[in-house]
Structure 1
Amino acid sequence: MRRIFLALSLLMCSFGLLAQDYFPKNDGVKTENDNYTAFVNARIFATPTQIIDNGSLLIQNGKIIAVGTSVTIPANAILIDLEGKYIYPSFIDIYSDFGITKPKRNNNFNQRVQYGPSRKGYYWNDHITPEINAVEKLKFDDNKAKELVKAGFGTVNTHHQDGIIRGTSTLIALNVHEGNEKRILGDKVAQHFSFRKGNSSRQSYPTSLMGAMALIRQVYHDAKWYGNGGSETDDRSLEAFNRNKGLPQIFDAGSMANSLRADKIANEFGVNYILKGGGDEYARINEVKATNASYVLPLDFPKPYDVSDPISAAVVELKDMRHWNQAPTNAKVLAENGIPFAFTTAELKKVEDFKTNLMKAIDYGLSKTTALEALTTVPARLLGKSDQLGNLKKGAVANFLITSGDLFEKKTILYENWVQGNKNVINDIDLKDIRGNYDLNVAGEKYSMAITGEPSKPKIELKQDSIKIASKINYKNGWINIFFTPQNEKATEFIRLNAVTTASKNLSGRGTLTNGNDINWTAIWKTKEDQKEEENEKGGKDKNDLHEILPVTFPNTAYGLKQKARQENILFKNATVWTNERDGILQNSDVLIKNGKIAEIGKNLSASGARIIDASGKHLTTGIVDEHSHIAAAAINEGGHNSSAEVTIEDVVSDDDIDIFRNLAGGVTSIQILHGSANPIGGRSAIIKLKWGEAAENLLNPNADPFIKFALGENVKQSNWGDNNTSRFPQTRMGVEQVYVDYFQRAKAYDQKWKAYNDLSSKAKSRTNAPRYDIELAVLAQILNKERFISCHSYVQSEINMLMKVVERFNFNVNTFTHILEGYKVADKMAKHGVAGSTFSDWWAYKYEVNDAIPYNAAIMHSQGVLTAINSDSGEMSRRLNQEAAKSVKYGGVSEEDAWKFVTLNPAKMLHLDDKIGSIKVGKDADLVLWTDHPMSIYAKAEKTMIEGAIYYDLEKLPAMTNAIKKERNKLINMMLKAKNNGMKTQPAKKKKKEQLHCDSLIYQQ
């Protein structure tokens, strides 16, 4: 008997939500209405590309039974004649928080931060919550549902928008007529990610974008290890994560740059994210296309800036002006490149703005078919629900719109939005649309009358002789009532008009003048051909109302390149060549560049097809190399833990940082972007070439050895962090030493465990669980194995000695001490250890631990045999490193050639790149700078800066670029002024201060 009951239960479940039929009903009669509803004589968009003219749609019990031109209508069907009307599938919003309470920010965040987890039995990081299921938090919001239904939506995919891994979403029909047992179409539909940690926890880690990326990677590794039986304890978060892996994976990136970063993780772990973008994908469309991902696009176009005040206008950045100009084309650009996408209402302050912005995207080139796909078939496909949603085919949910005509024409009326077979009236289907422009005649007085707004709630604008007249209109049940005060009349005296609508577009009726006399009046509808500034026949705006779209540059900001720099074969003639080799400085010499390499050096060279550059009276050097920089990065510190070896600056390289261009103008061609000094063991470095215009991944130097940042001093023991943030270990210099010893011991044990596992035979491995892969310890093990190299932030001699002794215990060396302002005190010990010193030229006394710094530091270290360099640690100083090198000639009598090596060959050696860069030698990369004068002169300017044979900065072209920027700004300002004059809402002009990141820059991610 129990088996029969179980079988019956399973059978009932197979009927889905209809299994509730056995519930008792005490609120009325029990007879179910199984009648059919048939919609006939309509133009039906079964899909965006399958259109049925004069078709019929048959529905029953919330499902589509049939659709086509020869549908058999059952006898008990309710027949609705839609002659001249259109039927479309209702919209789907794939990214929503509908019905989910927004988590409040923890008010204790600014108190002492939390370093450990707050939950037992779950993942160690509070911001990883894949176990959360939105369906369990859902509280259906009738008002919000009606707002979305009015905008054309029938279904939303909603989730808990808090944390980095956020759990699963639920798919819900916006059915205000029935309960969740009917409207929930899927309880666990997709798994959601973001780079933003949650508001509900005070747990500090991660504090940065790169920390979030590292954490996501670690979750993937841990989930695999856990799934293979590696853990002896239960972890509900990892169990849920593994269960959810088969669902669509939706990642809230929020910008084009972050989309590319998310895709980087996807590629590492064989995942295909659906990426929620930021509307700026057009700026790097080739890279976006290369992700092979689908996108979710918000339609939150920026408002034009209020640039009516010239002083205010001057502070708006060109890239922000461009984004206003170019953002409306984003969807069109993605479509042209074959990139699938869905639209979302996310980021909009008001849902009612959705259609306005959608129409704008269509006005700027997006096809109506693609727009409809982005709202129907694409989101349905991405969620794996194409059999249920996004179309009007047999068996699909009866979610559809009834309109007066083409959905994407501005004046088209949305009459009804049916959700699961339930009618939602948006506008009365029998209501006549009276909107338009009219010639109004009232007792011989002529007026111009424009009726706009919504069909059921029209607005009126009345003018006589171009003078606007205060007026009101009411429209209800087919009756029109208009009243206004004519010119030269008292405000209390009105002309009152009324009429009933007819089949004609013209209006006529009776009225009462201000003196009480009854009159007849008429309003003659003006055709579109007679109207100025009217919409064209396709429903788009008049072309004169659309602003010109300016071209994208690389990067899409001031001084961006119209075309990316390309390699050239170039012959420099008659230059003073600083070789940094045994040949020293060559006078009146030639250098030939071929295929990005230095091909020949000598006098009277010739090369067929090479462009000749006359370098007479000028100096040719190798490009400057900055060993310690913080430019071109979206984050510098991950301060959530005392070790952050798992993070990498390579994840957060910013290719549009104007400091790249400025550094090129200072002759810099390569830099090491270092993690900051928030913790003793920082993150991994990014060694890049300043290839202005290239995407972030193309800036990374593929020949570079891996490096990591360590730090000593006041910052790592949190002396400069403030009282509320000083709870983390270590608090003293002694503690800093113990952090190093502890982590190296742990990394050593970790490495031995993995080596032992890898030495097992295949048969033994099959019976043994692999050790847990820990990104942080794996990186530290690379250091122990001399596969990764340390660049250490340092100041005082005691700490410098300490770290050298610690690492010698583990049988490796520190590669470089950077800052190293007391290096002159221990230069002999540094030379013996084999560590390089990269220092400032003449910084001192800017904080307590620098009191003993002297400008002779570089000269003294150099004299003791220490490989010495001058670094910047500053976006401003970095473009003047040629002059910083000259200071060592003054302070210590270093020769000019050796001083020049402080910013070229020596830092190249520190970065293990001297076989490729750092000197002018045949076979090396053509990373060169042509200077107008002696390269260390304060009068010298970089005339041309070349990387691998491509000129990325050209002083001769700079005036033309600057002038073009001025003209472009003026054009954009005029466009914005025109938009404001046309009534478009504006945003205030605000200056965005560019933050110069340094070692101690802390950007907390919220």
Structure 2
Amino acid sequence: MILRFPLLLVLALCMGQLVAQTTFPYNGVFDQRSGHYALTGATVHISPERVLDNATLVIRNGKVVSVQASGALPQGAVEVALTGKHIYPSFIEAYGTYGMPAVETSRGSWNSPPQLESETEGAYAWNQALRPETDAAALFTVNEKTAKALREAGFGTVSTHHSDGISRGSAAVVTLAEDRENEVLLERRVAHHLSFDKGSSQQNYPNSRMGAMALLRQTYLDADWYGKQRRDETNLSLDAWAELQELPQVFAVDDWQDALRADQLGDEFGKQYVIKGGGDEYQRLDALKTTGATFILPLTFPKTYDVSDPYAADLISIAQLRHWERAPGNVAAVAEAGIPFVLTADGLEKPTDLHDAMRKAVKAGADSKLVFAALTTGPAELLGIGDRVGTLEDGMLANFIVTDKDPFVEKATIYQNWVQGHPFELKPIKNVELASGYTIEVGDQTFTAEVSGEPGSQKMKVTTASDTTARDVSFTESGGVVTFQFRPGEDGGYYRINATRVGDGYTGTGRGPDGEAVSFTATPRQTTATTTKDSADKKEESPTEYRGKLTYPNIAYGLTELPETARILFRNATVWTGEDGILPETDVLITNGKISQVGKGLADRGATVVDATGMHLTAGIIDEHSHIALLDVNESSASSTAEVRMQDVVDAVDENIYRQLAGGVTTSQLLHGSANPIGGQSALVKLRWGATAQEMLFQGADPFIKFALGENVKQSNWGDRNRVRYPQTRMGVEQIFENYFSRAKEYGRATAAGEDIRRDLELETLLEILNGERFITCHSYQQGEINMLMELAERHDFRVNTFTHILEGYKVADKMAEHGAAGSTFSDWWAYKFEVNEAIPYNGALMHEQGVLTGFNSDDAEMARRLNQEAGKAVLFGGVSEEEAWKFVTLNPAKMLHIDDRVGSIAAGKDADLVLWNDNPLSIYARAERTYVDGKEYFNREDNEARRAELAAERNALIQASLDDKNSGGDTQKPNGKARRLLHCDSVSH
């Protein structure tokens, strides 16, 4: 027997009808109903690739029994008539926190002392940010309020995790049914979640991105050692970590650079991360594709900036305006690049914002089928649950939504969301939703129908060719049957029609004004579905046009195309060779990124000729001590952080790279700060504007590390709350060095002897110093400490390579020369804190006179733009010759950094890192006109001036677009400029 019920009655009967095997006892008479339904007449989207029109979806016991073209209904099924509606698999949230406890984010009071050790009770990891033992399945509780919001957005399944910490433990997959936790939990462990954010941990370490990366590296090594050895300890966190390694590893990042950082880390340990991205992947698709990662893409797009106030609008950078315009196109760009992805609602203000967001993505060029897949089959496959959810194939869970139209393209209404066979009514299906117009044939009459209004409040009027007076048509829907009623003229009776939807129109029968039987058809003249499909197809064929540019990096003065190496002949320049003197009227030829010839009257050999008459050509300036292009500068949490790496936090989108190219700088040593005696490993970079962080690294260079002395490391100027971390005196600083080098020696002895010891990245780094494989640049001021470190180094049989900004170097220059230490100093800084009160501007000249390899550094993003003038001060203060003074910022820093065989002077065979100046480079009137790195032109002053006008025009176009969007009703936000924080030795992230 086939049972047919009105829809509302069906929904009432459905509640609680899933019959499942359970270990729980049942209080009362057991409900044996199987939830056997046949949903008829809808267009069923079985998967992104399979669609059946006018289909019957049969479910029983919470699962799909079959989907087939209309036909005989199964015996005993309750029919739910859904003529004209669409059925899709419910969405799957791949990155959720549903049912998880709130993350406590309190950091204590402002004057709380640093927390140096973990306060987690039990045999767990030494660091509170490591929480691999966290089991989302054990924490999960059904939360009906949150579940309701997610169901309204179309979700039926969620991969949920506790988003707290660097290792966040395992995620669980749950459905959004209202049953007890045992019945909605599908999988206990589906993924291991990680991030760079330490979450609620109040423990000091790590307080930087590089510290988080170092912690993860050490944890991978510790877990490997712990799993293989006889254990002297029990570590429940490492036990859990080992159990999670075979699961998908989901790593949450903030932006495309973090994605590359995470991938680099994963590659070191053979891990292919799934990356939960930041929504700006479009900015560096080529690099991200090489990661091989699947991305979980957010659909969080910036609101339109309210730029109606012309002065407030000046706060917004062109990078922000570009991102506002391009963010909706991120999904399309990632898809076009061939990068696999799924989508998440994470980050949206409310789950239902997903609907507008995914339509924006489609409007911006994303294929609607790919968006469909990225919310269904993609997450199911990623999480290993594709045999249960994601499609409506036979045997799958009965998780599906009922809509009036395609929700990925149109503003659709979700009427119902069925989860595990439970129907949840979101909006009642009370009114039929009509197209904009129909041709109606009823009996022997033909009418033209016009429809106005939004679905749910539509109105219809009919006219005829002979009578253009519009007549109202009333219509109601029940059980998939639409009843139309209208009077064809002012007098006479009504047409009364019952019709059902067939395709995009309606067919039925009824009675005419005289009571006669009539047939009825309503054929759409232009249906919403047809219009949308045509416009969607047209959109896919026509790529989105943007007013803003996409550059490398995607900020002001970024490059639309990366420069290429060229053959260039500089003709008739004054050449500051750095080795063979200053040569007037001399030519320099560069080929394949190298200096190939220096001389007079060189043949061009097909090169591009640059007339340098009256101009000066020098090697690029080398800054021995810089903090530009870094995300963090200090891991200040411990007295030794030798394990952290500055190359982990190189920030390739820092505008200071371009600014310093404009000042003639081509190479910089990016140093850790001075927050601790033993800082982090340095990063030596060439200022390749537009490159990624990895591409900027100076390949093949010797590794360095930052040490520090003085006030900063003993925290004398950090306030009373910082009286916890050792050392607190200069004596303690010496003891730290002594202790760590003694430990490193023992570590080296045990390693060489093949003893079974734990690999320690911190001690490995210090052992490299003892073995002459890594070199020290030491932050220093006062002579006593400088002597101390040299004597300590000699006791341990190594040498301090460089004392940087060494303002009392003039007092110990003879000892430095004897020790073999170089001095990289400031030209004329003094008296900005107590320990530099005895600094003098003659310091550089006096060290140079004593045979110390001497250079000038910036330690400041602004000063680095004028290092040529700093070199000139060596002439002013101390009478150093121009040739030798210029070496203070070129060849001498190159020698300090052991790269003088590659850069620092103009000689055949060296890298073509060159600067063309309009005047003597030591003059305050000198300007860098062109700057080359590896023979590629990264700065051209003439082009720079032209780009100013282009940027102004682009900015204005984006502002006008913002005004258009605001005036069209778009959501807006106040202008909020994001000024870059300039980092210095004492800058601390947290």
Q: TM-score, normalised by structure 2?
A: 0.88
Q: Which residue of 1 aligns with 2:709?
A: 712
Q: Which residue of 1 aligns with 2:943?
A: 957
8 A Cα contact 1:427 1:456, kept in partner: no
Q: Which residue of 1 aligns with 2:269?
A: 269
Q: Which residue of 2 aligns with 1:575?
A: 573
Q: Which residue of 1 aligns with 2:696?
A: 699
Q: Which residue of 1 aligns with 2:665?
A: 668
Give the one of 720, 723, 739 matched to 1:723. 720
Q: Which residue of 2 aligns with 1:750?
A: 747
TM-aligned CA distance change 1:999 to 1:594, over 3 Å: same
Q: Distance in 2 between matches of 1:555 and 1:600?
A: 33
1:586-597 equivalences in 2 (<5 Å): 586-597=583-594
SS in 2 for 1:198: coil
8 A Cα contact 2:432 2:476, kept in partner: no
Q: Distance in 1 between matches of 2:786 and 2:655?
A: 35
User: What letter matches 1:383 in structure 2?
Assistant: L
8 A Cα contact 1:571 1:613, kept in partner: yes
User: What letter matches 2:563 in structure 1?
Assistant: A
Q: CA deviation at 1:825?
A: 0.3
Q: Are positions 1:651 and 2:648 aligned together? A: yes
1:908-947 equivalences in 2 (<5 Å): 908-947=894-933
Q: Which residue of 2 aligns with 1:462?
A: none
Q: Which residue of 2 aligns with 1:640?
A: 637
Q: Distance in 2 between matches of 1:102 and 1:669?
A: 48
TM-aligned CA distance change 1:133 to 1:943, over 3 Å: same
User: What letter matches 1:116 in structure 2?
Assistant: E
Which one is further off, 625-634 or 352-361? 352-361
Q: Distance in 2 between matches of 1:434 and 1:714?
A: 77
Q: Which residue of 2 aligns with 1:678?
A: 675
Q: CA deviation at 1:437?
A: 11
TM-aligned CA distance change 1:98 to 1:536, over 3 Å: same
Give the one of 802, 805, 816 matched to 2:788. 802
Q: CA deviation at 1:49?
A: 1.3
8 A Cα contact 2:365 2:544, kept in partner: no
Deviations 1:759-781 (A, max 9, x none): xxxxxxxxx7x421111111111
TM-aligned CA distance change 1:728 to 1:436, over 3 Å: farther
Q: Which residue of 1 aligns with 2:307?
A: 307
Deviations 1:355-414 (A, max 9, x none): 101100000000011001110111111111111111111222111122223232324332
Q: Which residue of 2 aligns with 1:966?
A: 952
1:601-620 equivalences in 2 (<5 Å): 601-620=598-617
User: What letter matches 1:375 in structure 2?
Assistant: L
SS in 2 for 1:310: coil
1:101-250 equivalences in 2 (<5 Å): 101-108=101-108, 110=110, 111-119=112-120, 120-176=122-178, 178-199=179-200, 201-250=201-250
TM-aligned CA distance change 1:529 to 1:62, over 3 Å: closer
Q: Which residue of 2 aligns with 1:902?
A: 888
Question: Structure 1 regions of 5+ residues with no counterpart?
Answer: 1-16, 439-447, 460-474, 479-499, 507-524, 758-767
User: What letter matches 1:143 in structure 2?
Assistant: K
Q: CA deviation at 1:248?
A: 1.1
User: What letter matches 1:410 in structure 2?
Assistant: E
Give the one of 765, 769, 773 matched to 1:787. 773
SS in 2 for 1:55: strand
Q: CA deviation at 1:139?
A: 2.1
Deviations 1:614-654 (A, max 9, x none): 00000000000000000000000001111111111100101
SS in 1 for 2:47: coil
Deviations 1:917-968 (A, max 9, x none): 0000000000000000101111111111001110000011111111111001
User: What letter matches 1:900 in structure 2?
Assistant: W
Q: Distance in 2 between matches of 1:858 and 1:218?
A: 41
Q: Which residue of 2 aligns with 1:433?
A: 433
Q: Which residue of 2 aligns with 1:14?
A: none
Q: Distance in 1 between matches of 2:737 and 2:457?
A: 71
1:736-885 equivalences in 2 (<5 Å): 736-757=733-754, 770-885=756-871
TM-aligned CA distance change 1:47 to 1:437, over 3 Å: closer
Q: Distance in 1 between matches of 2:133 and 2:810?
A: 56
8 A Cα contact 1:209 1:652, kept in partner: yes
TM-aligned CA distance change 1:124 to 1:401, over 3 Å: same
SS in 1 for 2:648: helix
Q: Distance in 2 between matches of 1:70 and 1:125?
A: 61
TM-aligned CA distance change 1:851 to 1:402, over 3 Å: same
Q: Distance in 2 between matches of 1:722 and 1:964?
A: 48
SS in 2 for 1:192: strand
Deviations 1:657-707 (A, max 9, x none): 000000000000000000000100000111000010111110001021100
8 A Cα contact 2:130 2:165, kept in partner: yes
Deviations 1:12-49 (A, max 9, x none): xxxxx98854643223x224112532233433222211
User: What letter matches 2:598 in structure 1?
Assistant: I
Q: Which residue of 2 aligns with 1:259?
A: 259
User: What letter matches 1:814 in structure 2?
Assistant: V
Q: CA deviation at 1:726?
A: 2.9
1:475-624 equivalences in 2 (<5 Å): 537-538=534-535, 548-581=546-579, 583-624=580-621
Deviations 1:587-635 (A, max 9, x none): 1010000000000111111132210000000000000000000000000
Give the RMSD, CA atoms, in angstroms: 2.9
Q: Which residue of 2 aligns with 1:514?
A: none
Q: Which residue of 2 aligns with 1:285?
A: 285
SS in 2 for 1:188: strand
TM-aligned CA distance change 1:528 to 1:917, over 3 Å: farther
Which one is further off, 338-347 or 677-686? 338-347
Q: Distance in 1 between matches of 2:370 and 2:190?
A: 24
SS in 1 for 2:288: helix
Which one is further off, 112-121 or 711-720? 112-121
Q: Which residue of 2 aligns with 1:26?
A: 27
8 A Cα contact 1:397 1:420, kept in partner: yes
User: What letter matches 2:124 in structure 1?
Assistant: Y
Deviations 1:293-339 (A, max 9, x none): 00111111001111111111112111011100111110000000111
Q: Distance in 1 between matches of 2:586 and 2:718?
A: 54
8 A Cα contact 2:638 2:676, kept in partner: yes
Q: CA deviation at 1:74?
A: 3.3
8 A Cα contact 2:430 2:477, kept in partner: no
SS in 2 for 1:172: strand
Q: CA deviation at 1:342?
A: 1.2
User: What letter matches 1:169 in structure 2?
Assistant: A
TM-aligned CA distance change 1:23 to 1:850, over 3 Å: closer
User: What letter matches 1:977 in structure 2?
Assistant: L
1:444-463 equivalences in 2 (<5 Å): 451-452=453-454, 455=455
TM-aligned CA distance change 1:243 to 1:425, over 3 Å: same
User: What letter matches 1:605 in structure 2?
Assistant: L
Q: Which residue of 1 aligns with 2:444?
A: none
Q: Distance in 1 between matches of 2:909 and 2:50?
A: 61
Q: Distance in 2 between matches of 1:195 and 1:172?
A: 26
Q: Which residue of 1 aligns with 2:441?
A: none
Aligned residues, how many?
911
Deviations 1:555-580 (A, max 9, x none): 10000011101100000000000001
Q: CA deviation at 1:354?
A: 1.0
SS in 2 for 1:725: coil
SS in 2 for 1:347: coil
User: What letter matches 1:940 in structure 2?
Assistant: A
Q: Distance in 2 between matches of 1:450 and 1:69?
A: 33
8 A Cα contact 1:408 1:539, kept in partner: no
TM-aligned CA distance change 1:787 to 1:431, over 3 Å: same
Q: TM-score, normalised by structure 1?
A: 0.87
Deviations 1:785-818 (A, max 9, x none): 1100000000000000111111111100000000
Q: Distance in 1 between matches of 2:48 and 2:539?
A: 25
Q: Which residue of 2 aligns with 1:400?
A: 400
SS in 1 for 2:422: coil
User: What letter matches 1:567 in structure 2?
Assistant: T
SS in 1 for 2:980: coil
